[in-house]
């Protein structure tokens, strides 16, 4: 029963993450950029968490590891938001879900985990899938478009976040949650400052406050539910469940944004998903 409860918790997480792209697009259409939307929604998440999920040890904010984890998580989330705003949703999701492949070398060097032949095969299969998705005649002569670049950066960041979560075992789940929320706020402010952008969007924020609040609430609830689910479901079984997010994203993109997946993306996606499933199988 507990395992079934855990699966439902993880499915809830994939459902919300697979739909979260839409409110960010609505905010972008209202003149609130992905960086501004990330800044405000994660500030909201921190405020809500301070009431319902209070950090037990404020000394966490003085730990170097906390802020390293925060910066990685911040870059990952902002890159993901920028990708889903500017790119085709399913394509972005597939490139993002290359993350288990990037996990392999990171786990080897940081966690000293053994690499099996199946991992190498899975990585080659997934990278072939990515090559098919990205392929065009000038692929190696022109830079990737922005949405693809953001999606790949987000996937690499997500892989690094997962590896660092195991590397920093002394940080509690609660500390890691606060680190990611704080990291998004920090990195958003850094981006705005570095590019000399205003800290307020060019359009009025007032009409979008409710939507930002709903995103903030969703971020907190989803974090808590998924964390609970991960305590009930073994990691090997949990990884494939998250692939359901691609299906949710694909269906929602069709109905909400009139996006249809093409044959090239479908073929590449099958190879990526197959590679992920192989890499997450128990030895």
pLDDT of residue 199: 67
HSE, side-chain direction, 13 A CA sphere, residue 122: 23
HSE, side-chain direction, 13 A CA sphere, residue 88: 16
Taking 70 as the pLDDT cut, the residues of the chain under it are 1-2, 136-143, 199, 201-204, 231, 234-239, 280-283
The whole-angstrom separation of Cα 187 and Cα 174 is: 20
The whole-angstrom separation of Cα 44 and Cα 187 is: 15
Q: Are 279 and 118 in contact (CB under 8 A)?
A: yes
The token pair at 57 is 């040890």
Q: Are 186 and 74 in contact (CB under 8 A)?
A: yes
pLDDT of residue 83: 95
pLDDT of residue 55: 86
pLDDT of residue 98: 84
pLDDT of residue 8: 85
Q: Could you give the number of structural domains in the chain?
A: 1
In this structure, how many other beta carbons lie within 10 angstroms of the beta carbon of residue 23? 17
pLDDT of residue 99: 76
What are the Cα distances from residue 74, in Å, to 77, 120, 222, 254? 5, 29, 17, 29
pLDDT of residue 263: 84
pLDDT of residue 265: 85
Q: For residue 184, what are the domain limits?
A: 2-279
Q: What's the pTM?
A: 0.88
């Amino acid at each position: 029963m507990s395992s079934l409860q855990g699966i439902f918790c993880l499915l809830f997480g994939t459902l919300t993450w697979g739909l979260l792209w839409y409110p960010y697009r609505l905010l972008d259409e209202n003149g609130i950029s992905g960086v501004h939307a990330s800044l405000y929604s994660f500030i909201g998440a921190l405020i809500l968490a301070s009431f319902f999920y209070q950090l037990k040890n404020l000394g966490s904010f003085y730990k170097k590891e906390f802020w390293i984890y925060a910066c990685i998580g911040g870059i990952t989330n902002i890159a993901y938001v920028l990708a889903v705003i500017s790119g085709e949703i399913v394509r972005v999701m597939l490139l993002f879900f290359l993350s288990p492949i990037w996990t392999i070398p990171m786990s080897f060097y940081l966690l000293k985990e053994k690499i099996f032949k199946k991992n190498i095969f899975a990585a080659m299969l997934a990278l072939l899938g990515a090559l098919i998705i990205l392929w065009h005649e000038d692929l190696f002569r022109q830079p990737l478009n922005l949405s693809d670049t953001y999606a790949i950066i987000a996937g690499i960041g997500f892989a690094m976040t997962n590896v660092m979560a195991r590397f920093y075992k002394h940080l509690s789940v609660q500390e890691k949650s606060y680190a990611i929320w704080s990291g998004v706020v920090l990195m958003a402010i850094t981006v705005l400052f570095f590019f000399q952008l205003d800290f307020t969007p060019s359009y009025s924020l007032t009409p979008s406050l409710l939507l930002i609040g709903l995103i903030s609430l969703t971020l907190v609830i989803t974090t808590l539910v998924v964390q609970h689910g991960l305590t009930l479901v073994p990691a090997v079984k949990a990884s494939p469940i998250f692939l359901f997010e691609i299906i949710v994203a694909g269906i929602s993109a069709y109905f909400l944004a009139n996006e249809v997946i093409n044959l090239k993306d479908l073929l590449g996606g099958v190879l990526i998903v197959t590679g992920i499933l192989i890499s997450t199988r128990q030895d």
